[in-house]
Amino acid sequence: MPSRSNFIDGEWIDAESGDTFDTHDPANPDAVVGTYAQSGAVDAERAIEAALVASDEWADTPGPQRGRILSRASRVLAERKEELTELLVREEGKTQPEAAGEVQRAIDIFDYYGAKARDVGGTVKGASGPDTTLRTKTEPLGVAGLITPWNYPIAIPTWKIAPALAAGNAAVIKPATLAPGCTYEIAEALAEAGLPEGVLNVVTGPGGEVGDTIASHPDVDAVSFTGSTGVGNAVYDTATEDGKRVQLEMGGKNPIVVSDTADVAEAASIVAGGAFGVTGQACTATSRAIVYEDVYDEFVDAVVAEAEGIEPGNGLEGGEMGPQVSASELEGTLDYVTVGKQEGATLETGGDALDRDGHFVEPTVFADVDADSRIAQEEIFGPVLSVIPVGGYHEALAVANGVEYGLSAGIVTDDHTEANRFVDDIEAGVVKVNEKTTGVELHVPFGGMKASSSETYREQGEAGIDFYSITKTVYDNY
């Protein structure tokens, strides 16, 4: 069982209060997985000071040298993949294949940004007059404050930390208190890879103290947040008061449109994968299936069969869908099941907590859902799918766009024209054709529209480095 203090300026330091908190296995809530520092504002300020002191030297470190450290960290994580996978399963609840895939993603992200760090610097352009060099010079912002959620406890911290460091920034990260263990493993891997002291600092504790301090501190130059829309908007208001650069990735209510040209069995498999994979605990999870009436009944039967074929269970014991991360998350999902019944939707399958240890719930499908109902409008963050009948493309598009969110969306169709129309018309930052709404590539931009994002900067790929960088334009008349 790991016991972790804060990681500040290359040292393990207890919280000023001396208090700690425990994390628990969602599949076995009586089992303590780790003990961590219950930090406050003083601890966050100490971490920010360490990052500020380290920032100039790290900014002056050549990009290829920074990249080599990130690449070495990738190799360290790869050597520890098995133990990291087990930690992720025990602390967050994913199945073993899901956790292993997430750990591999973190390995690949560090490898990617290790290479991309060589390209950070600027470009040369042709000048209009003679005897003049025209170029750009890319520089880091300084200190980045990173606030991450529990649902992807190694991938999301990695895709914030790696581009921030590649661009030459120092960083302070506050991982979610439900699953902070993997973030400390990242810090250890980077330290072993040669990252200078103070360049990355990890502080655990409540968002109201640690997160607010990071968002408001005058020595933090940029804030990157992933989490709920309500908290994200509060972070944005706090961070922008003194002009910080801010990046938010927040909630989703993601649709898949199922056309009457689709292979229904394939469509049901795609939808079920997006709805019930990672226990529906993803901002990109498929929450709404918007289905043409001609194939509606057949689709409902097929997706119900998919749901009923999933066996929830402990991820380390072969479970096909893990538990929800906490009792409160399970309670929230069950509350929405009650809402769906009260709203008149048809509960086709699932909807109950499982009578066993752990925060397990059945994969749940509601049919005949009103597009304006709460279960079709509000983010549930659990394995609950709403199936909505529509008359055709235009109604499907109106329903798909008729929510406050715009993160991920998909269409299953054999009509190429229809697919391209959907790509043009949908209000979402990630668009999938004949694929589930979850799962994204690491080398292309990721982000949403509307209430799913600040719509400022994208994450991942080259866009990730752009957020943590600022550009000077240099005119050199020689």
Could you give the angle at the alpha carbon of 444 between the alpha carbons of 442 and 446, nearest 5°?
A: 85
Q: Within 10 Å of residue 123's Cβ, how many Cβ atoms?
A: 11
* Cα separations in angstroms, 401 against 252, 255, 427: 12, 9, 6
249 catalytic residue (yes or no): yes
Three-state SS at 112: helix
Distance CA 33, CA 24 (A): 5
Buried b (16+ CB within 10 A) or exposed e, 186-224: bbbbbbebebbebbbbbbbbebebbbbbbbbbeebbbbb
Using DSSP, how many helices (H) and how many strands (E) does the chain show?
15, 22
The answer to whether the beta carbons of residues 246 and 236 sit under 8 Å apart is: yes
Q: Distance between CA atoms of 70 and 76, rounded to whole angstroms?
A: 10
Residues β-bridged to residue 431: 409
* Residue 73: DSSP 8-state: H
Amino acid at 192: E
Residue type, 7: F
Distance CA(314)–CA(127), nearest Å, equals 63
Structure tokens belonging to residue 411 = 């269409």
Burial profile 365-402: b = 16 or more Cβ within 10 angstroms, e = fewer: bbbebebebebbbbbbbbbbbbbbbbeebebbbebbbb
- 473 three-class SS: strand
Q: How far apart are CA 202 and CA 192, in angstroms?
A: 15
The residue from 249, 306, 329, 348 that is catalytic is 249
Q: Which residue has the tokens 């409008």?
A: 377
Give the residue from 312, 283, 314 showing the smallest Cα distance to 99.
Answer: 314
Give the C-alpha separation, 291 to 256, whole Å.
8
Active site residues per annotation: 249
